[in-house]
Amino acid sequence: MLKVQDVSFKVRDKVILQHVGFEVLPGEHMAVLGSNGAGKSTLLKVLCGELQPVTGQVHILGKALQDWSAAELARFRAVLQQQTALTMPFLVKDVVMMGRFPHQQARQASMDERIVTGALHKTGITHLENRNYLQLSGGEQQRVHLARVFAQIWHSPDYDVRYLFMDEPINSLDIRHQHNALELAREFASEGNCVVSVLHDLNLAAQYADKILLMKQGKVLAYGTPAEVLEQQTISKAYDYNLRVCYPEGHRHPVVIPAV
């Protein structure tokens, strides 16, 4: 389980996060939503240990985040950043193999190769494995990094639950690959793991997330299932924009559209 208690963060006198708290249980995918500047990416950095909160704590697998070493965390927790700077002309399969580095002390080369092959297949980029990463489009590069993080936590026998954090994972992806990426996240969560993703698209969050954390100016505005959070008055307040929620025939989840 991921447990966040009373987390606040500030830079000098500017408060970025204010008393944020929630839980993500094994088997759940939680989407973090909110307007630009709501604190979504900062929250994810706190959850990953990249930033230290001024108050509160983050617990992962029942243990305070700061009590885990970076090497331990890397064996069962992966982070997909908004942007990953990679300037060397690696082959795609070698970039994906980087995800296996945290396991190298106990690694078996043949197992790593099988896992990389599986991750390439899962993300639909097997045909790119021998391509120069730098010659790929932005969307293709994003899918390579998605494969890399899945390779990292594909097999972690010493831990009951694996964790995947993603900051705007569908940036640069076309509509088909947006759905494919979020379907993979939902599938990974359904295996008993925890997924937290920062998203901008409310309708994709409604379709693929089990829970939604809606933020505004660093505070939690709403937290719950998509049906509970994506309520017309609440989301209109979150985005300072008049929005409408409807349930089209055949849809099991709410659909958000601008009010006209």
Q: For the segment 217-244, what is each residue's pLDDT rounded down to a tens digit?
A: 999 999 999 999 999 999 999 999 999 9
Please give the pLDDT value at position 260: 75
Per-residue buried b or exposed e for 197-233, using 16+ beta carbons within 10 Å of the residue's own CB: bbbebbbbbbbbbbbbbbbbebbbbbbeebeebbbee
For residue 54, what is the domain's CATH number? 3.40.50.300
d(CA 117, CA 223): 37
Q: pLDDT above 90 covers what percent of the chain? A: 86
Q: Is the dihedral of CA 195, 199, 201, 206 positive or negative?
A: positive
Token pair for residue 4? 């966040």
Q: At which residue do the structure tokens 């599986």 appear?
A: 118
Verify that 69 and 170 share a domain, yes or no.
yes
Q: 193 and 164 in contact (C-beta within 8 Å)?
A: yes
The more confidently predicted of residues 26 and 104 is: 26
Say what the pLDDT of residue 1 is.
93
Q: Do 63 and 172 have their domain in common?
A: yes
- Dihedral angle sign, alpha carbons of residues 229, 232, 237, 241: positive
Q: What pLDDT sits at residue 105?
A: 60
Query: Which pLDDT score is estimated for 87?
Result: 85
What pLDDT is recorded for position 248? 86
**Number of domains observed in the structure of the chain:** 2
The per-residue pLDDT for 106 is 56
142 and 179 part of one domain: no
Final residue of a structural domain among 104, 122, 155: 155
DSSP secondary structure of 163-209: EEEEESTTTT--HHHHHHHHHHHHHHHHTT-EEEEE-S-HHHHHHH-
Domain boundary among 155, 174, 190: 155
If asked whether residues 196 and 252 sit together in one domain, one would say yes
84 occurs within a structural domain: no
Phi and psi at residue 223, to the nearest 5°: -150, 125
**Is residue 100 within 8 Å of residue 112, measured between CB atoms?**
yes
Q: Same domain, yes or no, for 126 and 164?
A: no
Closest CA to 9 of 22, 24, 19: 19
Domain end marker among 138, 155, 172: 155
Reported as type and span, the H/E element at residue 95 is helix 92-97
Give pLDDT tens digits for 90-144: 999 999 999 999 887 655 688 899 999 999 999 999 999 999 999 999 999 999 9
| Residue linked to tokens 């089209």 | 248
pTM: 0.94
Nearest 5°: the CA angle 94, 156, 3 is 115
- Amino acid making up residue 155: H
Task: Check whether residue 115 and residue 164 sit in a common domain.
Answer: no
Tell whether 211 and 165 lie within a shared domain. yes
Q: Is the pLDDT of residue 81 over 70?
A: yes
Q: Which domain holds residue 241?
A: 2-76+158-258
Whether 257 has a pLDDT exceeding 60, the answer reads yes
The answer to whether residue 40 scores a pLDDT higher than 90 is yes
d(CA 244, CA 259): 5
- Tell me how far CA of residue 158 lies from CA of 12, 154, 185, 195, in angstroms: 40, 12, 21, 19
**Same domain as 120, residue 15:** no
